[in-house]
Chains A and B, each alone.
Chain A
Amino acid sequence: MPLAHAAHLDSDLIARIRAGDESAFEQLFHRYYRELCVHASRIDRAGGTAEEIVQEVFFRIWMHRERLLPVESLSGYLYAAVRNVALNRLARARTEERWRAAKQVDALDARTEAPAADAEMRETEMAMAIDRAIGELPPRCREAFLLRRQRQLSYAEIAQAMGTSQKTVEIQIGKALRLLRKSLAEWL
C-alpha cells in the first residue's frame, strides 16, 4: 500500500495502541515491518542489523504505548524512529566517537520532527519498486542481469555460468534494462 494512502488509517490505530490493543499493534507491525527493514538497511549499509533496528523501534513503541501521541503521519514518525535508532547504533558502534550518540535525538520522542522522512520514504518506496521490477523479470533475464550487476561478471563469465552464448547474455541483459525501464516508467 502506498504510504500516502495509509495515512488516514493511522490515527485510529494510534488510539487503539495507546489503549493497549495488541491486535492494532500487530496490524501496525505487519503493515510497516518489511518497508522499515528496507529503510534501516539503507541507512546501515553494513547489513545484518536492519531487523534488530526495526524490532527495537516496535519494542519501544509498545513498551511506551501510553506516551504515543497523535502524529501528522504515522509512517513519517516510524521512518524517523528507525533512522534515529539506526544512527544511534552506528554511533554507539564506535566507542571512540561516543560523543556523537549524545547528539542524537531520543528515538521515540513522539514530537520528533522528520524533515527528511518524506524524501526517505520516496527513496525507500522506489528502492522497493526497483527490487520488485527486478523480481518480475523473466527468470533467465533476471539471472543474467543479477550476475552482471551484483556479481559484476563479464558477459563471457555469465555465459559460462549460465551455459549459454555470450551473444545471448548480451541480449538478455539488454532486454532486462529495457523491461526495467518500462516497468519503472511511473517511478523514474
Chain B
Amino acid sequence: MHDDPDWTLLDRYLSGECAPEEAAAIEGWARSDPSRARLLASMRRVWTEAATPLPEVNADAAWRALRERVAAAERGSDPAPVHAAPIAPVRRATPPSLTMHRMRPTPWRAWRLAAGIAVVVAAGAAGAAGWWRHAGQRPGAAVEAARDYVTARGQRAEVTLIDGTRVWLSVDSRLTVPRGYGAVTRDVALVGEAFFVVQHDAQRPFRVHAGGGVSEDLGTEFDVRAYPGDTESVVIVATGRVALRAATAAAPGAAGARLGRGEMGRLGPDGDVRVTSGVDLDAFTAWRQGRLAFDERPLRDVARVLERWYDIEIAVDDTALASVPVTASFTDQSADEALSILTGALGVRYTRHGRHVRITAPGDAR
C-alpha cells in the first residue's frame, strides 16, 4: 500500500492522545478517500479487539472434564459442571456483579435516586490513561492489578463495585478499577461513557479519571462521557453537585466551575469549562434505558453514536449534511429501522452494505 498513514500518529489517535488538530487531520485524511476511511475503520476494529485477549483454553483437559461429568451423570451423581482446570480469567477478574445488555434490551429496573451532595470533576490534557502515570508506581505495577469492565459496540453493562457504587457502562466503553479500590481511595478510569451512582464516603473520595482528567465525588449521580477522539470531556449532573476543574498538571490555576442538577460542564483541552444550565437530562441519560435521544445534535455526532450502538460504520458524504441538526429518539429499532427513520426525517437516502452505511444527499450521483 503506497498510501500509508503516519502509523505512530494513528496509534496516538486511537489511544485518544491526539491534540484536536491532529485528530482533525487524521479524520480529514480518512474522509478524502473511501479506501482511507476503510483503513481507519479497520484499524479501529483491530484496536478494539486487541484490548481484550481471547480466552486461552485447553481442549484436551476440557474434553476429559466433560467425559467425567457425563460419566458422573450417567451414574446418577451430581450433574454439576466439572472444571477442567482453573478457568483462565483472561486477565479480567470476575466482578462483584456485572450484567450485560445488548441492543433491544429489556429496560433496566428503575432505581431510587439517592440524595446527592457534590462531585469534583477535574480534567486536563488528552491521554486517557495518563493518571496511572502519576501514581508514583512502576509501570505495570498499578495497571497489572487493575480490573477492566469492557463493553463492545452494541453492548452495555451494569456494574456494582465493592463499595456499593453502581456504574452503568455505555456502549464501546471501558471502566478500569484498580486492585485495592476502596481501601484508601476510590479511583476508577473511564474511556467512553458511564453513569455513576456513588455511595458517599467522606473518608474515601470517589474519583473518575476520564479524558485524561480526574473527577472527585462526594456522593451523587452523574454522567461522564469521554470517548477516544472526543475533544471535550462532558459531565452531566442528575443529582447533587459537581465542581469541575482542569487537572492541576494540565492547566495550573484553571478556575473551573460548580455544576448543579441539570447542568452540563464541557471541559475543553484548553482547561476551560463551559457550563450549560437546564439541559434535558433525559436526552443525555436515556441510554441507560436502551434509548437514544438526540436534541438538535449535528448528524455527524448522531452517526458516531449510532456506530457505537449498532456496530456499523457510517459515512456522511457531504460536510453540510453532516452538520444538519437532528432531533430524534430511538428505542427498540434495528439498525435499518433507525437509519430509515433518521434519513426519512432528513429527506436524504442511505445505502448499506454489511456494516458499512453511506448517507447521501438527494441528487448526489455517487
List residues of chain A with CB under 8 Å of any chain B CB.
26, 29-30, 33-34, 37-38, 41-52, 54-56, 58-59, 62-63, 90, 93-94, 96-97, 100, 103, 126-128, 130-131, 133-134, 145-154, 156-158, 160-161, 170-171, 173-175, 177-178, 180-182, 184, 188
Contacts and interface: CB of A to CB of B under 8 A. Distances in A.
Interface stretch (B87-95, B117-125, B341-349): B87-95
Contact of A48 (B63, B79, B90, B150): B90
Nearest 10 A/B pairs, CB to CB: A188-B42, A174-B7, A157-B139, A152-B129, A47-B92, A130-B49, A174-B8, A33-B59, A48-B89, A47-B90
Interface stretch (B64-72, B246-254, B288-296): B64-72
A90 B98 CA distance: 8
Contact of A173 (B11, B127, B130, B139): B11
A184 B42 contact: yes
B144 interface: yes
B104 to A, nearest CB: 11
Interface of B: 1, 4, 6-8, 10-11, 15, 38-39, 41-43, 45-47, 49-55, 57, 59, 62-63, 65-66, 69-70, 73, 79, 81-84, 87-95, 97-100, 106, 109, 127-130, 132-133, 139-140, 143-144, 149-152, 155, 157, 176
A45 B150 contact: yes
A138 to B, nearest CB: 15
B122 to A, nearest CB: 20
Nearest to A44: B100
B63 A94 contact: no
Given A34-B57, A44-B100, A151 B140 contact: yes
8 contacts: A50-B87, A63-B73, A93-B99, A130-B46, A151-B140, A154-B129, A170-B11, A177-B7
Contacts of A127: 49, 54
Contacts of B6: 174
B144 to A, nearest CB: 7
Contacts of A63: 70, 73
B55 A130 contact: no
A130 B50 contact: yes
B199 to A, nearest CB: 18
A43 B91 CA distance: 16
Nearest to B89: A48
Contacts of A174: 6-8, 10-11
Residue among A56, A157, A175 with max Cβ neighbours from chain B (10 Å): A157
Contact of A94 (B50, B99, B128, B132): B99
A102 to B, nearest CB: 12
Contacts of A43: 100
B249 to A, nearest CB: 14
A50 B59 CA distance: 12
Contacts of A49: 87, 94
A33 B209 CA distance: 39
B89 A30 contact: no
Contacts of B10: 174, 177
A44 B47 CA distance: 20
Contacts of B50: 130, 134, 145-146, 149-150
Given A46-B92, A150-B51, A151-B144, A62 B70 contact: yes
